[in-house]
Amino acid sequence: MRCLSREDLARVANELRDELIALGAAGGGHFAGSLGVVELTVALHTVFETPDDRVIWDVGHQAYGHKALTGRREALARIKRSDGPSGFLRRAESPYDVFGAGHAGTSISAALGVAEAFARSGSPRRAVAVIGDGGATAGMAFEALNHAGHLGAALRVVWNDNGMAIAPNVGGLARTRDVRGYIESLGLLYLGPIDGHDLDALLDALAALRDADGPAVLHVRTRKGCGYAPAEADPYGWHATAPFERTSGARAASASGGPPSWTAAFADALARIADHDPRVVAITAAMPDGTGLDRFARRHPDRVYDVGIAEQHAVTFAAGLAAEGLRPVCAIYSTFLQRAFDQIVHDVALQELPVIFALDRAGLVGGDGPTHHGVFDFAYLRMIPHLVVAAPRDENELGRLLATAVESARPFAIRFPRGAARGVPLDPEPKPLEIGRGELLHDGDAVALVAIGSTVAPALEAAERLAAGGIRCSVVDARFAKPLDADLLERVAKRARAVVCVEDHVLAGGFGSGVLELLAERAPGVPVQRLGLPDAFVEHGEIERQWRSAGIDVDAIEAAALEALHAKSGSRDG
């Protein structure tokens, strides 16, 4: 590309956009963001000596074109599959993926570190952060710019200003007209703004950025979804897409009559509770659609807050609301709530404020892979004093747990998975449950299968298979990871020859660890086997394959129960 004329580079950009549209039509995936940076992607790889110069992309939603230009064009047809590339940036995948990214707002901090490392070694190489798609609203982005102005390091930043995160950007930064003043007040050189779809202008502006002394920001204005009319008209709806018919933009109709998604079930249950409780408000960190709060907002439009990509602020903002008598519900993916751990501890739990955390996408999430799996929440939440931690087995229980949380006036976390819910009948109004009470779903004295959340259904199926062979197992829906139902767990453990605990979470510090700790005191000598995820990051791919390889599906639970029956006494982990 660096040997091509500008006329030929324009052809490359046109061909790349056509390729991305064909890719999206055939397989879906993150779509509009990458279309909006086609010219920028071509210009970056032309002006900078990549990969020696380090181009660090934020999140990865915008990087499909980058992947296509850096040796992964054919593989993109299998993106997010177990035999294809990651949907995000990944160092192990390519030397052009300089810094892994699946959470927003990290690029400027990482690029500043790279630039400072180059300066300390005397290297002439350059570091460029490409931030946008809402990432500039993240607190880390401000922190990094503030530090860059202090250091004076030769950091280059390209701000892809498209007015969007997944949903339209919110906040003062999105509305400010004095971008130059904002950047220069932090001690950085401001360049721009320029049209991010004018390749000639981009090539010249990036050359100026490349040759700047000290930290500099190039302000590039783009249109998310550029070059595909349906995506330009609705960049929110086309941020990520299912396969579609290219000419019309028609997407396959979703199957009707099936169970709702867990996300929709959450939003509807919360709306029903809010109908009768004016204290209930909801908070999202720039993901109203992904968390179902756009659905909730159709019923209660004045009771939703979008705080931008700012999970830390979301939690402490919720704590402030709770301190004055409201019942805020922070709807944040499990993987993203990790970013606000200190705020959960210090601002919510320590003060015993009734903030409710709705952790969507808990457990394994399939194609989005290790940056998005929600497999650490039991561990990072159950250690926190005053916090209740629960997981429903179906959407009716989800509604009941939400009602429990609102009524409890306690810090409360409810985790639920991605995908379709169970399709069970719903109570007309969600009824509160007793905190810390599990449920015995199947009685038996051979092996006690203790499950929670998504793993209850496969545990029940495994028990049915075992019963067909004359082996009667008890099945416990623990429902609460904290507090555990100590009396129920002690009772079933003492009746059984062994206990098998199963969770869609890492074994270290998870739900099974809590059961093991409890039974070591209440039922010593009963063998306990734990099924869960290993001490490793689970790769992207098909979710059924992920469950099978992790050993938490029906076959694995059945095998573990049979093995436990024949094992010698003693405690073991698996």
Rg of the chain over all Cα atoms, to the nearest angstrom: 25
In sequence order, the 6+-apart residues with CB closer than 8 A to the CB of 145 are 108, 157, 183, 186, 188, 217
Q: Are 341 and 315 in contact (CB under 8 A)?
A: no
Domain boundary among 175, 206, 241: 241
Cross-strand partners of 243: none
Count the neighbouring beta carbons within 10 Å of the beta carbon of residue 391: 32
Q: Are residues 544 and 475 in the same domain?
A: yes
- Number of folded domains that form the chain: 3
Q: Are residues 177 and 38 in the same domain?
A: yes
Q: Which two tokens stand for residue 411?
A: 């810090």
Q: Are residues 405 and 449 in the same domain?
A: no
Angle at 118 (CA atoms; ends 115, 124), nearest 5 degrees: 105
| pLDDT for 569 | 44
Distance, CA of 450 to CA of 515 (rounded, Å): 9
**Is there a domain that residue 540 lies in?**
yes
Q: Which two tokens stand for residue 406?
A: 């609102």
Cross-strand partners of 162: none
Distance, CA of 358 to CA of 293 (rounded, Å): 11
Distance, CA of 68 to CA of 79 (rounded, Å): 11
Distance, CA of 517 to CA of 62 (rounded, Å): 45
Query: In the structure, how many helices (H) and strands (E) does the chain have?
Result: 22, 19
Distance, CA of 364 to CA of 70 (rounded, Å): 29
**Residue 105 Cα distances to 30, 143, 188, 380, 518, angstroms:** 18, 10, 18, 22, 40
Instruction: List the CATH number of the domain containing 282.
Output: 3.40.50.970
Distance, CA of 497 to CA of 480 (rounded, Å): 24
Q: Are 14 and 224 in contact (CB under 8 A)?
A: no
**Is there a domain that residue 246 lies in?**
no
Interhelix angle for 262-276 vs 395-408, to 10°?
40
Q: Are 481 and 382 in contact (CB under 8 A)?
A: yes
Active-site hit among 80, 223, 224, 400: 224
Phi, psi of 489 (to 5 degrees): -65, -40
Q: Are residues 444 and 533 in the same domain?
A: yes
Count the neighbouring beta carbons within 10 Å of the beta carbon of residue 470: 7
Domain boundary among 181, 211, 241: 241
Domain boundary among 241, 271, 296: 241
**Is there a domain that residue 256 lies in?**
no
Q: Are 365 and 544 in contact (CB under 8 A)?
A: no
Q: Are 485 and 538 in contact (CB under 8 A)?
A: no
The secondary structure of residue 168, as a DSSP letter, is B
Q: Are residues 42 and 182 in the same domain?
A: yes
Structural domain boundaries, residue 107: 6-241
What number of residues does the chain have?
Answer: 574
Q: Give me the torsion for CA of 286, 88, 62, 237, rounded to 10°.
A: -50
Q: Are residues 157 and 271 in the same domain?
A: no
Task: Return the sign of the alpha-carbon dihedral for residues 345, 349, 351, 356.
Answer: positive
Q: Are residues 235 and 266 in the same domain?
A: no
Q: Are residues 59 and 157 in the same domain?
A: yes
Distance, CA of 451 to CA of 361 (rounded, Å): 18
Answer yes or no: 382 catalytic.
no
| pLDDT for 568 | 47
Mean pLDDT by 10 residues, the chain (574 residues): 96 96 90 94 98 93 93 92 91 94 91 96 96 84 94 94 79 81 94 96 98 96 94 90 91 72 97 97 95 97 94 97 97 97 97 98 95 97 98 98 98 97 94 97 96 98 97 98 98 96 97 98 96 96 95 98 77 45
Distance, CA of 115 to CA of 192 (rounded, Å): 22
H helix or E strand, kind and range, residue 543: helix 543-550
**Is there a domain that residue 280 lies in?**
yes
**Is there a domain that residue 48 lies in?**
yes
Answer yes or no: 224 catalytic.
yes
Q: Are residues 203 and 307 in the same domain?
A: no
**Is there a domain that residue 250 lies in?**
no
The secondary structure of residue 484, as a DSSP letter, is -
Answer yes or no: 303 catalytic.
no
| pLDDT for 540 | 94
Active-site hit among 339, 400, 418, 422: 339
Q: Are residues 194 and 323 in the same domain?
A: no
**Residue 288 Cα distances to 84, 134, 295, 301, 425, angstroms:** 29, 13, 8, 12, 26
Order of strands, edge to edge, in the sheet holding 528-533?
439-442, 474-477, 447-451, 498-506, 528-533
The secondary structure of residue 464, as a DSSP letter, is H
Active-site hit among 39, 311, 395, 558: 311
**Is there a domain that residue 432 lies in?**
no
Distance, CA of 207 to CA of 260 (rounded, Å): 51
Distance, CA of 310 to CA of 340 (rounded, Å): 9
**Is there a domain that residue 94 lies in?**
yes
For tokens 């793993």, the residue is 455
Instruction: List the CATH number of the domain containing 488.
Output: 3.40.50.920
Q: Are residues 269 and 161 in the same domain?
A: no
| pLDDT for 435 | 98
Q: Are residues 138 and 83 in the same domain?
A: yes
Q: Which two tokens stand for residue 334?
A: 């499990």
**Secondary structure class of 123 (helix, strand, coil):** coil
